[in-house]
Structure 1
Amino acid sequence: MEIYLIRHTTPAIERGTCYGFSDLDLAPSFPEEAARVQQLLPQTPLTVYASPLQRCSKLARFLFGNNFTTDDRLKELNFGDWEMKRWDDLGPDALQAWMDNYVYARVPGGESYEDLYKRSVEIFREVITKQQNAALVTHSGVIRSLLAYVTNTPLENSFELRVEYGRMARISVQADGRLELLGVNE
């Protein structure tokens, strides 16, 4: 069994803006980026799950038609009060306090990276129990946390795992339940 973790394409937002739960549209490069992902997908049927945020559901629709299910657990980190604010405008003290303990510290009005990790792993385990090849069209935080889970990387070190727009990771689920990372940023 294989699971494909697909990150949405480039969003239409100014660099340096904090977003997670915000429902952003996609940049004009969407058709080219989406076509590139499409070429990498297997010809075998996949059970598809997507974040309900349009940057993921649009890509899922492009790749799989309407043959996908949305799930809130696949949303990006909830940045709460920081959503749609410029990182530079958050203030150095607030940002540093979070950065010093981002795994466990919740963003004001939002969630922690550990919260994201728990919900991501929960749906990932459910997908595995169905024993069908699957694709998850989601966000970098979800993918990074699942890659940490698969590779036994501590969450504190998981930001070293690069996850690019419009790319995917492949995971093999062995018959004995072992998880093997086959590729990243394909």
Structure 2
Amino acid sequence: MQLLLIRHPQPMLDKRHCYGASDIAVAPEVLQSCCERLLPQLPRGVAIVSSPLQRCAQLAQALAKALGQEAVVLQAGLREMDFGTWERRAWDDIAWSEVEAWNQDLLHYAPGGGECLLTVARRMWEVFADLQRRQAEQLIVICHAGTIRMFLACAAWQSGQVGPAHPDAAALEAIALQAAATRTAISYGEVIRLDVATA
């Protein structure tokens, strides 16, 4: 199975602000431009699964219409990490002591009282396993940079296993930390092709 992982278009909030689970819109012209760039890269007749956040769902719906797909599956588990009270705040306005507390305990510290990285890893593993059970040759998945990194880490862990396996607590911690350590930039509207085993 191949997952065509696509990061949403640039939302109407710049990188000077913290955002994850916030439902931030995309400017119509940005959405249209992203859709036009993506269409030549995507196959027809392939199911589209999307984060329910509008910066993803709007792109998924536009692509589905252009590709002649009947519907988009909105998968709640694909949403970006929840940064709690940090959401939509300028990074410069968040106390350095809070950011440093997160840096010191990436796995368990919940920024702004939202989600900790380990919680996101558990959620994303369940989504990853669910997509594998669909038995499709390809799936188009519209989501976020953080969730794409989690997919890559899930696939890397799975590739090192013999036969079907479900990660235990230690493996989930390793998956979460690998995703956090991935520094490769993922551009808005970028397609990453990920080959994974079917369940």
What does residue 155 of structure 1 align with?
A: 176
Contact kept? 2:153, 2:175, Cα under 8 Å: yes
Contact kept? 1:116, 1:141, Cα under 8 Å: no
1:160 aligns to what SS in structure 2? coil
Supply the distance in 1 between the matched residues of 2:125 and 2:178 (Cα, whole angstroms). 17
Contact kept? 1:117, 1:146, Cα under 8 Å: no
What does residue 188 of structure 2 align with?
A: 165
Deviations 1:135-169 (A, max 9, x none): 21111111111111112375334332332211121
What does residue 31 of structure 1 align with?
A: 32
Summarize the alignment of residues 40-59 of structure 1 with structure 2, pairs less than 5 Å apart: 40-43=41-44, 45-59=45-59
What does residue 182 of structure 1 align with?
A: none
Does 2:129 match 1:129? no
Q: CA deviation at 1:14?
A: 2.7
Supply the distance in 2 between the matched residues of 1:30 and 1:37 (Cα, whole angstroms). 11
Q: Which amino acid is 1:14 matched to?
A: D
What does residue 6 of structure 1 align with?
A: 6
Q: Structure 2: any 5+ residue segments left out of the alignment?
A: 158-173
Summarize the alignment of residues 56-135 of structure 1 with structure 2, pairs less than 5 Å apart: 56-65=56-65, 67-132=71-136, 133-135=138-140
| TM-score, length-scaled by structure 1 | 0.86
Tell me the percent identity: 30
Deviations 1:117-149 (A, max 9, x none): 211121111111110121211111111111111
Q: Structure 1: any 5+ residue segments left out of the alignment?
A: 178-186
Q: Which amino acid is 1:19 matched to?
A: Y
Greater per-residue helix proportion: 2
2:189 aligns to what SS in structure 1? coil
Q: How many residues align structurally? A: 175
Q: Which amino acid is 1:41 matched to?
A: L
Between 101-110 and 86-95, report the one with greater CA deviation.
Answer: 101-110
Distance 1:125 1:154, change over 3 A: closer
Summarize the alignment of residues 13-24 of structure 1 with structure 2, pairs less than 5 Å apart: 13-24=13-24
1:5 aligns to what SS in structure 2? strand
Q: Which amino acid is 1:135 matched to?
A: I
Between 64-73 and 157-166, report the one with greater CA deviation.
Answer: 157-166
Between 29-38 and 152-161, report the one with greater CA deviation.
Answer: 152-161
Supply the distance in 2 between the matched residues of 1:169 and 1:34 (Cα, whole angstroms). 16
Distance 1:110 1:174, change over 3 A: closer
